Amino acid sequence: MPEIDFQALRTGQRRALAKAITLIESSHPTHRKQAAALLERCLPHSGKSLRIGISGVPGVGKSTFIEAFGLFLIGLGKRVGVLAVDPSSPLHGGSILGDKTRMERLSREDHAFIRPSPAGRSLGGVANRTREAVLVAESAGFDVILVETVGVGQSEYEVHSMTDLFLVLMQPGAGDELQGIKKGILELADLIVVNKADGDAERLASQSVVHYKNAMGFLNHQGFWTPEVLSVSSIEPRGIDTLWERMVAYCEAGSEAIPARRTAQASQWFERLLNDGVTELLKTNAAWAELYQAQKQRVATGEIAPPQAALACIEPLENALKS
């Protein structure tokens, strides 16, 4: 693994950032230690971006939208990082999100950095590496970070838990049921954006805006912001400036709530890592792993109730900590 040139990273050199993220994505124990040290250096310089989650079913126009939105932001003098959480990315080979070939014009911009989803891990693992990549990209001076994910499953919750603002892209016309969008995902949305509001679909898009405004009215939202519904065309492009205005309004309204949300997110992330780490540590300890497997088996055969089995596993740990 090559040394990371921290100064190059801090001055926003994309090659240095790419190398840093490669280090972060490695699961080699030495690299994990180096990555932790790197994160420690990055932390004081992180946190200054707006983190935006973007979700939507395949084909809704995520990459077209991100390209148009990214170019718009660069036009405002911003530096844009695009990261992805793709639970379906195959073990080997590329992932379907955050791919440079999907956003050719944006990827040619000096002020854009695009990174596909880390591959070959559980969803939780992929999401954790993306969380780390957000911090590193921020310390490299990227001031808007877009985290893309597919609107089909659990990954929205992960992306929601690492971003300040969550945007769901929708197709014009088709109802949410038809788009395979779960009500739960609409509940996460701060902004619903009906894409492809152009040509023949423009009228349908306006109808969809009304539909989603009504649908959102039935959801129980809390906090500083009432979710809004807008339409855009990513190919023309049109409506992106209005969308950005609403995002700015969101940030102003959330000037106190957003930092509090980040604090809660960081603490949740810590708790999860701790749980995962301790469980992993135990499972790699031969004596304990044997006990764990035995109890797991006994639960599976109905020989023992889960609480009893869990206690049997925890007892030796308690004793070890006491001694």
Binding mask 183-222 for ligand GDP (x = CB under 6 A): ------------xx-xx-----------------------
Kindly state the smallest distance separating residue 185's Cβ from ligand GDP, in Å: 14
| Interaction between residue 55 and ligand GDP (CB under 6 A) | no
**What are the residue ranges of helices labelled H in 76-116?**
104-107
Give the nearer residue to ligand GDP in terms of CB position, either 24 or 60: 60
Under DSSP, the state recorded for 175 is -
Give the nearer residue to ligand GDP in terms of CB position, either 19 or 62: 62
The whole-angstrom separation of Cα 61 and Cα 41 is 36
Give the nearer residue to ligand GDP in terms of CB position, either 23 or 197: 197
Site for ligand GDP in 229-248 (CB under 6 A): 233-235
Instruction: Quickly tell me which residue has 């950005």 as its tokens.
Output: 244
The whole-angstrom separation of Cα 136 and Cα 114 is 13
Cis peptide before 237 (omega within 30 of 0): yes
Which of 186-194, 227-235, 265-273, 304-312 is the region at the interface with ligand GDP (rule: CB under 6 A)? 227-235
252, 258 Cβ separation under 8 angstroms? no
Instruction: Quickly tell me which residue has 């990214």 as its tokens.
Output: 70
Kindly state the smallest distance separating residue 150's Cβ from ligand GDP, in Å: 8
Site for ligand GDP in 81-100 (CB under 6 A): none
Give the nearer residue to ligand GDP in terms of CB position, either 63 or 139: 63
Type and span of the H or E element at 150: strand 144-150
Kindly report the number of other CB atoms within 10 A of residue 206's CB atom: 14
Give the nearer residue to ligand GDP in terms of CB position, either 24 or 197: 197
Give the nearer residue to ligand GDP in terms of CB position, either 34 or 195: 195
The whole-angstrom separation of Cα 313 and Cα 294 is 10
Write the CA distances from 78 to 29, 49, 84, 116, 190, integer angstroms.
Answer: 36, 10, 19, 21, 22
Kindly state the smallest distance separating residue 57's Cβ from ligand GDP, in Å: 7
| Interaction between residue 63 and ligand GDP (CB under 6 A) | yes
Residue among 20, 25, 52, 61 that touches ligand GDP (CB under 6 A): 61
| Tokens matching residue 100 | 């440079």
55, 168 Cβ separation under 8 angstroms? yes
Instruction: Give the total of residues touching ligand GDP (CB under 6 A).
Output: 15
Residue among 23, 60, 185, 204 that touches ligand GDP (CB under 6 A): 60
Q: Residue 250, SS3?
A: helix
Kindly report the number of other CB atoms within 10 A of residue 202's CB atom: 14
| Interaction between residue 59 and ligand GDP (CB under 6 A) | yes
Residues lying near ligand GDP in the complex (CB under 6 A): 56, 58-64, 195-196, 198-199, 233-235
